[in-house]
Structure 1
Amino acid sequence: MTSRVPPGLARLNSAGDQAARTLLREVCAAGPWAAAVAAARPYADAARLYAAADAALAALDDAGLREAMAGHPPIGRPRPGDPASAREQRGMADAPEALRAEVLELTLAYQERFGHVFLICATGLGAEQLRDALRERIGNAPEEERRIARRELGKINRIRLTRLVEGGGEADAEREGARP
């Protein structure tokens, strides 16, 4: 029995080096991560891609982790015109104004304390859950927070890689008339 390579994985495998890195930087903004994942192509299946992505994430130094986090907009302020950002932060979209203001205040305090955006896999989380996570994590030691941020980045990368592998990129969704 021959397994079919999903369309997005086939596209990633066949892309030139620069095009592959560009596709991968839509998943994770860290250049070293994208370069490592692109260099390990071709992937026979999604599991091998995910394993390479996890290894590349684990290998990121502090500068690479900062670069990856800088590619994410703050919670409650998705990047304009970015359907992935809006989709991932959907839980904040209908939050009451008072809750939105509290989340903004907490995210600014978090950024002041840690020097980077609050990174959480927001997919499926409501505004109260995001606020509660901010409240909980703002008291962490910087080393603990970097460990948690790396873990959350891994979750985000996996969701985005899955969309890429399945051919569910933004351009595909727009062509199909799908909503993010």
Structure 2
Amino acid sequence: MGLAEFNALPDDAAEQLLLACCSSPRWAAALAAARPYVTVVSLLDAADAAADALDEVEIDAALAGHPRIGERATGTAAHEQAGVTGDDVRARLAEGNRTYEEKFGHIYLVCAAGRDGEELLAVLQSRLDNDVTTERQVMRNELAKINRLRLTQLVAS
């Protein structure tokens, strides 16, 4: 689907597509309501602004739509985590995920596209050194990267 087709969708259809990119209802509604977008860049900028405006409850809703890094994912997430291979790496990521969630209270979110399991594990380990406030901002930045990637794919043609 191209940008023109996305702009022409009924609001409910656009929101459903957007929820596949980010599972925050408020984010999806904001982007659907702001159509039409003149360029993909304007769509991406609006996505960033909408993500920045999300309160913590909506961020948690967005996180709920993401599988843990290293778990067997489906759909878009499976493609994004394609570099995570091997039972040993998956086991170490599972343990890292548990440690991360105990410390921060939410899943480890990272833009995994183009990265292998070892790199994602190293990023996880380095982020465990963050304080809660810093990590929450890092996680929000990663969410924005994932949203941009998925939106670009959505309107790529």
Q: What amino acid sits opposite 1:111 in the alignment? A: E
1:161 matched to 2:155:
no
Kindly report which structure 2 residues correspond to 1:36-47, keeping only aligned pairs within 5 A, or say none.
36-47=30-41
Q: Offset at 1:12?
A: 1.6
Q: What amino acid sits opposite 2:77 in the alignment? A: S
Aligned-residue Cα RMSD (Å) equals 1.2
Of 82, 92, 105 in structure 2, the residue corresponding to residue 90 of structure 1 is 82
What 5-or-longer segments of structure 1 have no aligned partner?
1-6, 168-180
1:61 matched to 2:55:
yes
Kindly report which structure 2 residues correspond to 1:1-180, keeping only aligned pairs within 5 A, or say none.
7-79=1-73, 82-92=74-84, 94-95=85-86, 97-167=87-157
Is the Cα contact below 8 Å between 1:70 and 1:116 reproduced in 2? no
Q: C-alpha distance in 2, partners of 1:8/1:117?
A: 32
Is the Cα contact below 8 Å between 1:43 and 1:49 reproduced in 2? yes
Deviations 1:121-146 (A, max 9, x none): 00011111111111111221111111
Instruction: Determine the structure 2 residue equivalent to 1:170.
Output: none
Is the Cα contact below 8 Å between 2:6 and 2:14 reproduced in 1? yes
**TM-score (structure 2 length as normaliser):** 0.95
Is the Cα contact below 8 Å between 2:71 and 2:90 reproduced in 1? no
Percent of residue pairs bearing the same amino acid type: 45
Q: C-alpha distance in 2, partners of 1:76/1:165?
A: 27
Deviations 1:19-46 (A, max 9, x none): 1110111111111111111110011111
If asked which structure has higher relative contact order (CA below 8 Å, sep 6+), I would say: 2
Aligned length: 157
